[in-house]
Every structure is written in structure tokens, then in C-alpha cells.
């Protein structure tokens, strides 16, 4: 069965680079399940969980906003954050959520800071989701 090359890159590192069977990406319009031989596609990403299926195992990456490029044999994810469940610090993420929520309450800070806080909130939520989801189902991390 053909496989997909999944690459996840952030501005500071290449986080993930493996052959996988299927990947589910959190696109702007909803989730996309990508199998090999998909038509070429470029989509915006929402902060969320990237689901990777590889050799019968599932693993998750928490990703921030960004872009995904899909080619028949390859999926490249460009994002500002990519973390495995093991990397996520639950209390730090929770603290970030609280902080971002507090910032959003404050209407005086201007749209720029608001957007920043919103992005922070979405990223932290994605981290927590991946952390708890991964644990809850006892899914072994393939990395």
C-alpha cells in the first residue's frame, strides 16, 4: 500500500518527518483526512490536533495556525507550533489559557493584542486536547 511522506516544519525546526498511512489535518473549513494519492491541495490550518495513522497506530501532534501543502505522495505542514503529547506541559498550557482569557476580557488592548491572545488561546487548547486525548485512549505514541 502506498504511503505518504508527512513533514511538519516550524520556523525553528523540522518536528516530524515520517512515512505515514493517513493524516487528518485541522483545515480552515474542517478536518481533512488525507490518504495517499490525494489531489494537490493547499489549505489554511486552524490550531488543532493533527492525527497521524502509521502502521495501525495513531498519534497526535498539537499544531498552531499555518498552512498545509498536499501532494499525491507528500503532506507538508507549515505551522508556528508543533508538539507531541509528551511535550505538552499541561499546567503551562492551562496557565496560558487563563492568561489569554483574561487578556480577551480586557477590551482596551486593541485588535492586534486581541488577535494575539486569541491565537494563544487556540494553541493552548489544541495542546491540552492532544495531551488528554492521547492519554484518555491510551494511544501509544509512535515517536
Give residues in contact with other proteins (CB under 8 A): 7, 9-14, 27-29, 32, 39-44, 66-67, 69, 71-72, 76, 78, 80, 112, 116
Q: What would the DSSP string read from start to end of 7-64?
A: EEE-SS-EEEEEEESEEEEEETTEEEEE-TTPPPEEEEE-SEEEEEEETTEEEEEEE-
For other proteins, the closer of residues 116 and 141 by Cβ is 116
Nearer to other proteins, 32 or 60 (CB): 32
Q: Closest separation between CB of residue 44 and other proteins, Å?
A: 6
Q: Three cell numbers at 94?
A: 492551562
Q: How far is the CB of 116 from other proteins (least distance, A)?
A: 8
In the complex, what is the shortest distance from the CB of residue 40 to other proteins, in angstroms, rounded to a whole number? 4
Backbone angles phi, psi at 142, to 5 degrees: -75, -10
Q: Which three cell numbers stand for residue 136?
A: 484518555
Minimum CB separation from other proteins for residue 4, in Å?
Answer: 14
Residue closer to other proteins (CB basis): 8 or 134:
8
| Cα separation, 18 vs 35, whole angstroms | 14
Measured from the CB atom, the residue of 91 and 111 that comes closer to other proteins is 111
Nearest approach, Cβ of residue 32 and other proteins (Å):
8
Quick check: 21 and 31 in contact, CB under 8 A?
A: no
Closer Cβ to other proteins, 69 or 141, answer by number: 69
Is residue 8 within 8 Å of residue 82, measured between CB atoms?
A: yes
Amino acid at each position: 500500500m502506498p504511503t505518504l511522506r508527512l513533514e511538519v516544519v516550524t520556523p525553528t525546526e523540522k518536528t516530524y518527518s515520517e512515512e505515514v498511512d493517513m493524516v487528518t489535518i485541522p483545515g480552515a473549513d474542517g478536518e481533512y483526512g488525507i490518504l495517499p494519492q490525494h489531489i494537490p491541495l493547499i489549505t489554511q490550518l486552524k490550531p488543532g490536533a493533527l492525527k497521524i495513522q502509521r502502521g495501525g497506530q495513531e498519534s497526535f501532534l498539537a499544531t498552531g495556525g499555518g498552512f498545509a501543502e498536499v501532494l499525491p505522495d507528500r503532506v507538508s505542514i507549515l505551522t508556528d507550533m508543533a508538539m507531541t503529547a509528551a511535550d505538552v506541559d499541561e499546567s503551562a498550557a492551562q496557565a496560558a489559557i487563563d492568561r489569554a482569557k483574561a487578556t480577551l476580557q480586557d477590551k482596551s488592548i486593541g485588535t492586534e493584542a486581541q488577535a494575539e491572545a486569541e491565537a494563544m488561546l487556540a494553541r493552548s487548547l489544541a495542546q491540552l486536547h492532544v495531551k488528554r486525548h492521547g492519554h484518555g485512549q491510551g494511544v501509544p505514541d509512535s515517536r
